[in-house]
Structure 1
Amino acid sequence: MLFRTRALALGVAIALLPAPATHAKSASRTLTLSQALSRAVASSPSLAAADREIGAASGRAMQSAVFPNPELAFELDNAFGSRSKRNLDAAETTIQISQLFELGGKRDARMAVAAAEGDAARWERAATRLQVLAEAAEAFARTLGAQRRVAELEDQVDDLDRLTPLLQRRVEAGASSSAEISRGRLATETTRVELAKARAAFQSARRELAVLIGETAPSFAAVGGDLSRIGAPPSFDGLMARALQTPQLTRFTAVMAQRRALLAAARAKAVPDITAGVAWRRYEEDRSNAALVSLSVPLPLFDRNEGGVIEAQQTLAKTDAERAASRNALTVLVGRAYEALRGSYEEARLTRGNVLPVAREAYDSIRSGYAEGRYTLLELLEARAALSEASLKEIDALVSFHASLASLEGLTGSALVLSRRDK
C-alpha cells in the first residue's frame, strides 16, 4: 500500500497530520504543521531579504536600459580682459550640447547582466524558501516528539502512582516489607525528575519553533500532529535525480548566464565610445554667429580593460567547478538524510512491531502476577522501565524519521511517496 505525504506550500511536506494535541487547552492554541509552515514563510527574514534582492535586481534591470544623459556646456571667452578685451566687447559665447554614444554593445551587455542577476536572485529565493520550509518542518517534528515524550512520562508516573495502593496492601498482608514502598516511591520520583526534564525540553523546542514562525514568545500551547505515520523511502537514485533539479543546482544556469554577460561587458568596455557635440557661438566683436560640431573619442593606448576581461574569464571558468562542488555537497546531504531516514524507519518499525508488544505483554503479565505474589517488586519495576524505554525509543525514532523526511523534501523540492509497510 502506498501513500503520498501531504504537499505543503510548493514542495516541502511531511507525514504529520493535524490531530488533537495532548496538552492543548483549546483548539485555537494548538499549532498544526500547515499553520507553522505558512507562518514560517510569511515571517522569514531570509525570504524578506531575498524578496528585496529581487526588487533591487529589477531596479538594476530598469537602470541598465537607460541611455547616457546629454551634456550641456556654456563657455565665455575673451571677456573681462584689458584693452580690446575689456568687459564683453570682444567676448565669444559658446553653448554646446554633447551626447555620448556607447559602442561595442555596452548597453546590450549591461542589460544582459542585469537580467541574469534577476534570474539568479529568483532562483536563490526559491532555494531559500525550501530551506525555510524544511527548517520549520524539522522544528515542528522535534516539538511534537518532545510533547509526546512528556505524555509518555506522565503516563509512566501515573502508572507508578497506581502501584502505591497495591504495595500498601501487600505490606499490610505481610507479603512484602515496608522497604518496597520506599523502593516504589523512589522509582516514581526518579520518573518525575525525567518528566521535569522532558517538560523543559518541550518548552525549549516550542520556543525555537515560535522563533521560526515569527513569534517572540509562543502563542500556542501545543502542537497537533501524528508522528506514527511512517513508510519506507523510495530509491536513492530517484531522490538524487530530483535533487539535481532543485534551485540549489539549477540556479547555476542563471549564474552562468550572468557571468557570460559580465565577460561580454568587460570586452565591450575595451571599445572606445564616441562623444558628439553641436554648439552655437556668438562673437560680440562683430556681432556674428557660428555653429560648431565636435567629435571626441578616447585613444585606447594604455587602458584596454585587459585585466577586467581576464577577471571575467576566470570568474566564468570557475562556474563549472562551483557547480560540481555544490553537486557533491548536495549528494552528501541527500545521502546523509536518506540513510538517517532509512535507519529511523527500520528502528521505529521494529520497535513498534517487535519490541513494544513484547515489553507490554511482559509488563502486564508481571503486574498481574505481582498482585498474586508470583513476582518481586524489582521484577515489576524492571518490566515497567523496559516498557517505558521502548516507548521512548520509538518516539526518538519517529522524530528522527520525520526530521530526516523534512530535510529530504527540502533537498529534493517535492513530497516523497513512501511505501507503507509499517503495519
Structure 2
Amino acid sequence: MNRLIFLGLLISSGAFAQQKIAINEAEEAFVKNNLQLLAQQYNISIADADIIQAKIWNLPEASFQANVYNPEDKKIFDVGPSKSFAVQQLFLLGGKRKNEVEFAKSNKELAQLQLKQLLVDLKTKLRETFYSIYFDQKKLVNIDKQLNFLTDLVKAYKVQTAKGNIALKDEVRLQAIVLDLNNEKLQIRNSISSQLQDLHTLTGISGEIAPEVNDDEADTTIRKQTLNSLDEIKQKALENNADYLYVQKAVESSKSYYNWQKSLNIPDVTGGLQWNQSNGIFKNEVNFTVGIPIPLWKQNEGNVQKAKTLIDQSQKNSEFKKLEVESNVTAAYQTWQNNYDAYFNIQQKDLNNLEAVYKGMQDNFRKGNVTLIDFTDFTNSYKETVLKINEMQKQIVISAEELNQLVQTPIFN
C-alpha cells in the first residue's frame, strides 16, 4: 500500500517526465501494440490453416508384393517372376471435402467476429480509462485549490492559537477539513495510479504517460446526444454487435458441421492400378481396382445426432443473445440518459454562483464577516458538490462509451 501511495504521489506531482497523449494517439498505440489483440489475430491465421488442410487430398497409397521365402528351394527373398505393384487413391464422395471446407471457412468467420468484439471491448476500456483519468485529475485540481487556501489558513491559526488569540478547537476544526481533503486526494491519486497501469497495458507504451484533453473537447464529448431513438439504436445493435453476429454465425457454422458429418455416412471409393508380373492370366498384366465399403450401417450416426443437437443449441443461444443485447442496450441507453439529464438539469449560472459564493466565503471569512462554523460547513458542501459534478461529467462519458460498445456503430452526433 505504501508503495502504491508513493507512486501516486510521484505521478500526481509530476516527478516523472510524462508524455502527454491525446485520445487518438492512445488508440493508435493500442491497435499497434496491444498484446492481447495481437494474440487474438493468430486465431484467424489458425483458421486459414484449417481451410488449407481441409482442401488437401488424401495421399495415394503404393504397395509392392513379392515372395519372401521359397519353401521348395528354401531360399529367403527368392523374388522370382511373381512381383506385383499397385497404386491406389481414395476418392471422397457425397461432398465431404466441400462440406469440411465450408465448415472451416465458417470457423474463420467466427474467429474474425471474436477479434472484432475483443477490439471493441478493449477499445471501450481504453477510452473509459482515458477519460476517467482526465476527470479524476480535474478533481485533484479542485482539491489542490482548496488545500492551498486552507493550508495557509491553518498556518495562520497555529500562530494565533500559540498566542492565545484563537481557541485550539477552531484550529483543530480547520485541520480536520485539511485532513479530509488530503484523504480524498490520496484516494483519487491511488485510483489514477491504477488506471494509468491499465492504460500502459492497453497501449503498450512503457514510458510515463498522461492523458491530455482540451476542455472544449471534453465539453463537446459530454454534450453529444444520440442521433436515433431507442428502437433504432436497438436495431443498429442487432445489425452490428459482434457478440450477436457471432451467435448467428454459430448457427450457420453448426449447420455446416451437420452437413459435413452427414456426408461422412456416404461410402467413399478407392480406385487404382495394379501391375502383376506373372500371377495373373497374362504376363505383365495391368489391372484396375475399385473398392467401396459395404454400407450395412451408418458408421457416423452418433456424430450426426450430435451435430443436429448443436444446431438446436446454437439457435437457442442466438435467441437468448438477441434478448440480452436488446435488454443491455435499453439499460445502457437509460443510464446514459439519466446521467445526461441529471447533469444538464444543473444550470450554468448555478455553477457560476457556486464558485462566486465560495470565493465570497473565503474573502468574508478573512474579513471576519463569516463564522468558522459557517465557513467550514460551506467548505465541506462545496467540496462534495464540485466532486459530484466532476463525477457526473465522467459518468456521462463512460455511459456513452458503454452504449457505443453495444451498438458498435456511430450513434452520437
Q: TM-score surpassing 0.5?
A: yes
Structure 2: which 5+ runs fail to align? 1-10
Match of residue 400 from structure 2: 405
Task: Provide the C-alpha distance between the structure 2 equivalents of 1:184 and 1:143, rounded to a whole number of angstroms.
Answer: 29
| Residue 241 of structure 1, aligned match among 226, 235, 247 | 235
Give the aligned length. 395
299-308 or 95-104: bigger deviation = 299-308
92-101 or 283-292: bigger deviation = 283-292
| Residue 329 of structure 2, aligned match among 319, 331, 334 | 334
Query: Please, what is the CA RMSD of the aligned residues?
Result: 3.1
Task: Report the CA distance shift for 1:178/1:98 in structure 2 as closer, same or farther (over 3 A).
Answer: closer
Structure 1 vs Structure 2: percent identity of aligned residues? 18
Partner SS, residue 94 of structure 2: coil
Task: Provide the C-alpha distance between the structure 1 equivalents of 2:150 and 2:137, rounded to a whole number of angstroms.
Answer: 20
Task: Report the CA distance shift for 1:44/1:313 in structure 2 as closer, same or farther (over 3 A).
Answer: same
Query: Does the CA contact (< 8 Å) of 1:348 and 1:397 recur in 2?
Result: yes
Query: Does the CA contact (< 8 Å) of 1:70 and 1:100 recur in 2?
Result: yes
Give 1:243 deviation, angstroms.
0.9
- Name the structure with the higher helix share: 2
- 2:123 partner amino acid: L
TM-score normalised by length of structure 1: 0.83
Structure 1: which 5+ runs fail to align? 1-20, 419-423
Task: Report the CA distance shift for 1:291/1:166 in structure 2 as closer, same or farther (over 3 A).
Answer: same
- 1:243 partner amino acid: A
Are positions 1:41 and 2:36 aligned together? no
- 2:210 partner amino acid: A
Partner SS, residue 65 of structure 2: strand
Task: Provide the C-alpha distance between the structure 2 equivalents of 1:285 and 1:315, rounded to a whole number of angstroms.
Answer: 52
Task: Report the CA distance shift for 1:141/1:89 in structure 2 as closer, same or farther (over 3 A).
Answer: closer
Partner SS, residue 304 of structure 1: coil
Match of residue 257 from structure 2: 262
Give 1:154 deviation, angstroms.
0.9
1:266-324 deviations in Å (ceiling 9; x for gaps)? 12111100101211122399994222322111112234322222111221222221111
Are positions 1:322 and 2:317 aligned together? yes
Task: Report the CA distance shift for 1:51/1:169 in structure 2 as closer, same or farther (over 3 A).
Answer: closer
Task: Report the CA distance shift for 1:75/1:193 in structure 2 as closer, same or farther (over 3 A).
Answer: same
Match of residue 380 from structure 2: 385
1:136-187 deviations in Å (ceiling 9; x for gaps)? 1111122222222222211110121343577589889998546434432332
1:19-49 deviations in Å (ceiling 9; x for gaps)? xx99768996112211222222223333223
Give 1:343 deviation, angstroms.
2.1
Query: Does the CA contact (< 8 Å) of 2:34 and 2:201 recur in 1?
Result: no
Partner SS, residue 245 of structure 1: helix
TM-score normalised by length of structure 2: 0.85
Match of residue 183 from structure 1: 173
Are positions 1:50 and 2:40 aligned together? yes
Give 1:354 deviation, angstroms.
6.6
Residue pairs, 1:3-402, within 5 angstroms:
29-77=19-67, 79-83=68-72, 86-87=75-76, 88=78, 92-164=82-154, 177=167, 179-215=169-205, 219-225=207-213, 226=215, 227-229=218-220, 230-231=222-223, 233-234=225-226, 235-246=229-240, 247-283=242-278, 288-351=283-346, 353=348, 356-402=351-397
Task: Provide the C-alpha distance between the structure 2 equivalents of 1:200 and 1:50, rounded to a whole number of angstroms.
Answer: 31
